[in-house]
Amino acid sequence: MKKSRLSKSVMREARSRHKRKLVALVFYISVFITAGVFGCSTKNTDPAYLKAQALPAYQQASFEQYIQDTQQWLADNRVFKSNNHQQEILLNSPFELIPNTPNGQAVLLVHGLGDSPYSFHDIAAHLVEQGYLVRAVLLPGHGSKAGDLLLPSFADWENLVSHHAQLLLNDYPNIWLGGYSTGANLVTSYALNDERVSGLLLFSPAFQPKSGAVKYARFASYFMDWADQDPENNVLRYNSLPMNGAAVYYQTSKVVQDELKMHAFNKPSLLVLSETDSVVDTQAAYQTFEHRFTNENSRLIWQGEHPPQGKRVLSQTMVLPDYRVSNGSHMGMLFSPNNPYYGQEGSITICDNGQREVDFENCELRDTVWYSAYGYQEPGKIHARLTFNPYFSQLMQSIDLVMKPKS
């Protein structure tokens, strides 16, 4: 399948292609402080950067009604990127998968900042084959347009996770929770306060941001709306980041850090980390795993060349020429290499990868592209973001081992 490419005209419109999404806050905040700017950020009439009148409801009495209401809200509020509106709604909608042969257990999955429930498309497909009922939710402010991330508060995200965990617990005595990045923070916070959670599946848990500047996002949000604005061309996630979104993410990290200081989690858990993650502090996440995730059946998968030592750690090299992979990325563990959008031959290539403009253009034009974490550069190679997991089948095996009921 041929990878989609942006036109040169769109490339020229792209703003700030060389900055990390969260590290960019350093620049904006320093400009604000040194220049003494006291005012709102420049208005932008691009529909993708505008916000809806209100967030969708999420406290319906049934998950079926929640899906229906959310899909209607998306139909009314999404800025579509293709003529196939229904397909875009389905890709960004909450979903439920019902197993043919139930094992009596259920899983609730929560995506990350700027993403959508599609983050768990491949993992959910495996879980339902193992007999789990699987639900994935849509965090308020997501799935429609980047401007809607100007709206949610921490309470919106926390309450959504709590409501849908409780809704699932109405039918199951115990449940598993899974989360990616910001979603990992939210489900961990919930699990630490509900003994009915059987265990956790955490992918790139964003317990501690790599950039210390994120702590100032709430302050900065009073004076400017955007940490970063880029062309919105990805049907599965946002490319741009409102300051409010960064601020709410940081609040999730502070809450989960504080709770983990007070409580250990003694249920089986799987954590997956990329050594070269550009977004989160993976060393801090490893230390959290080592000291606060105490169950002997818990496992940490470390994707990188310098793994920590420990009997509960599984290491995986990410120098993989056969896949044209140079190192691991924040989002690189979620998808199969065969995924139709994010797989090795998928239709989406994320060339906005923190590289030089000439490399970005070459990524858009050339067929031979390597994959890496954001910001990685190597002479003689053009890198796009790594969006698939060469070890996806091994990841599924690890999930099964951690979730396997005791005999």
- Only one residue has tokens 């197993």, namely 99
386's tokens: 């790594």
Mean pLDDT along residues 264-283: 97
Mean pLDDT along residues 227-235: 94
Q: State yes or no: pLDDT of 6 exceeds 80.
A: no
Report yes or no on 167 lying in a domain: yes
Mean pLDDT along residues 35-45: 45
Task: List Cα–Cα distances, 316 to 194, 239, 268, 377, in angstroms.
Answer: 33, 29, 21, 21
Q: What's residue 362's pLDDT? A: 85
Please report which confidence band the pLDDT of residue 67 belongs to, taking 50, 70 and 90 as the band edges.
very high
Determine contact, residues 402/199, Cβ cutoff 8 Å: yes
Q: What's residue 23's pLDDT? A: 45
The pTM (predicted TM-score) of the whole model is 0.90
Question: Where residue 208 sits, what CATH number does that domain have?
Answer: 3.40.50.1820
Q: What's residue 364's pLDDT? A: 85
Report yes or no on 197 lying in a domain: yes
Domain total of the chain: 1
Report yes or no on 29 lying in a domain: no
Mean pLDDT along residues 268-295: 97
Mean pLDDT along residues 282-292: 97
Report yes or no on 297 lying in a domain: yes
Determine contact, residues 94/168, Cβ cutoff 8 Å: no
Report yes or no on 340 lying in a domain: no
Q: What's residue 405's pLDDT? A: 63
Domain hosting residue 168, numbered range: 42-318+393-403
Mean pLDDT along residues 139-167: 98
- Summary mean pLDDT of the chain: 90
Determine contact, residues 243/225, Cβ cutoff 8 Å: yes
Centre a 10 Å sphere on the Cβ of residue 26 and count the other Cβ atoms it contains. 16
Report the candidate in 267, 270, 312 with the shortest Cα–Cα distance to residue 398: 270
Q: What's residue 44's pLDDT? A: 56
* DSSP symbols for 205-269: --SSBS-GGGGGHHHHHTT-SEEE------SSS-S-EEHHHHHHHHHHHHHHHHHHHH--B-S-E
Q: Which of 118-122, 125-129, 182-186, 350-354 has the least mean pLDDT? A: 350-354
Q: What's residue 359's pLDDT? A: 83
Report yes or no on 17 lying in a domain: no
Please report which confidence band the pLDDT of residue 358 belongs to, taking 50, 70 and 90 as the band edges.
confident
Q: What angle do CA 291, 297, 303 make, to 5 degrees?
A: 70
Q: State yes or no: pLDDT of 3 exceeds 60.
A: no
Q: State yes or no: pLDDT of 31 exceeds 50.
A: no
Mean pLDDT along residues 205-232: 93
Report yes or no on 259 lying in a domain: yes
Please report which confidence band the pLDDT of residue 283 belongs to, taking 50, 70 and 90 as the band edges.
very high
Mean pLDDT along residues 220-249: 95
